[in-house]
Amino acid sequence: MLNACILLKVVPTKGNKILDMVRKIDKIKKAYFTFGRFDIALFIEAEDYKELREVANRINGIEGVRSTETLAEA
């Protein structure tokens, strides 16, 4: 099992909609708003790096997501 955090920068007017959408993704265990450089933090449990990459790509495809940063556990 691979744990990771994905930090999102989003278009401010789409934040609530994006948060609702990502909470529906199966591998995401926690998702909430943050304050500072990033707008949303997601915590993921994936089987491996391939699955983590698939989830990250899905999130990057959501309209209103400006950028992401993925932090995987070593």
Output the pLDDT for position 26: 93
pLDDT tens track for 23-36: 999 999 999 999 99
Output the pLDDT for position 2: 96
pLDDT at 74 > cutoff 90: no
| pTM for this model (two decimals) | 0.93
Count of all residues that appear for the chain in the document: 74
φ, ψ at 10 (rounded to 5°): -130, 160
Are 68 and 7 contacting, i.e. CB atoms less than 8 angstroms apart? yes
Output the pLDDT for position 19: 98
Structural domains of the chain, with CATH: 2-72 (3.30.70.920)
Q: What is the mean pLDDT of the chain?
A: 96
Secondary structure (3-state) at 65: strand
pLDDT at 14 > cutoff 90: yes
